[in-house]
Amino acid sequence: MFETLVQLVKDHAGDAIINNPAIPNEKNDEAIQHASKSIVSGLQGELASGNAKDIISLLTGKSGIGQNPAVAKISGDVASGLAEKFGLNSSQAAGMVASLLPGVLGSLVNKTNDPNDKSIDLGGIFSSLTGGKSSGIDFGKMLDKDGDGSSMDDLAGMLSGGAKDAMKGQLGDMLGGLFGKK
């Protein structure tokens, strides 16, 4: 997953990093790597904090990137890391992240939900974010309640309205167990 994320950051780094005078050209690759690692670290932190619902809602496209509480936290973490690493002031770093993160996460969501793109899927993302602790879990079988071969619609249904208890009782407990929470 990390390689895919780095490529997405590169794809969206134009004005945010590459054409940004606050980042010297010789530091562009380092800034891309740092932003990528910060995004992954932010996603891992949100999962470890018990915010799997927000991450799943983001990755399935059920919540807009700008409305997702996890994205706000990740944005702040990425901005603060870039500011510290590259000597940026907080508004420069926040501007970079505001320009970069929506495109990167939007592309990640699109790739995750594209049945024709086998490069990344929900199970692979969770396996990567949990250090392999969720590897072997077939998210498709576990979540494909209606048997149509797609877990995304079922997962999205679990996240909406009155299905909050189903989420908490099934996937939430499983992910909580991965991080030692019940």
pLDDT at 145: 54
pLDDT at 26: 96
Distances from the Cα of 34 to the Cαs of 80, 140, 156, 180, in angstroms? 11, 32, 31, 28
Domain that holds residue 153: 124-178
The alpha-carbon radius of gyration of the chain (Å, integer) is 17
CB 155, CB 56: distance < 8 Å: yes
Tokens of 178: 């991965």
Domain co-membership, 92 together with 134: no
Domain co-membership, 99 together with 165: no
106-114: long-range pairs with CB below 8 Å, 24+: 106/65, 107/8, 107/11, 107/12, 108/4, 108/5, 108/8, 108/59, 109/58, 109/59, 109/60, 109/61, 109/65, 111/4, 111/8, 112/59, 112/60, 113/59, 113/60, 113/61, 113/152
pLDDT mean over 20-49: 92
Q: What is the mean pLDDT of the chain?
A: 77
End-of-domain residue from the set 82, 116, 150: 116
Answer yes or no: is pLDDT of 92 > 70. yes
Distance CA 90, CA 168 (A): 37
Distance CA 156, CA 62 (A): 6
pLDDT mean over 132-147: 54
Cα dihedral 99→8→113→95 (10° resolution): -10
Stretch among 9-18, 123-132, 142-151, 171-180 having the lowest mean pLDDT: 171-180
138 falls in which pLDDT band (50, 70, 90)?
A: low
Q: Which residue has the higher pLDDT, 30 or 125?
A: 30
Domain co-membership, 81 together with 30: yes
Q: What percent of the chain has pLDDT over 90?
A: 41
End-of-domain residue from the set 63, 85, 116: 116
pTM of the predicted structure, to 2 decimals:
0.72
Domain co-membership, 54 together with 140: no
pLDDT mean over 59-72: 87
pLDDT at 146: 56
pLDDT mean over 126-149: 59
Number of domains in the chain: 2
CB atoms within 10 A of CB 93: 23
Domain co-membership, 168 together with 85: no
- Exposed, middle or buried: residue 162 (CB in 10 Å: 0-12, 13-18, 19+)? exposed
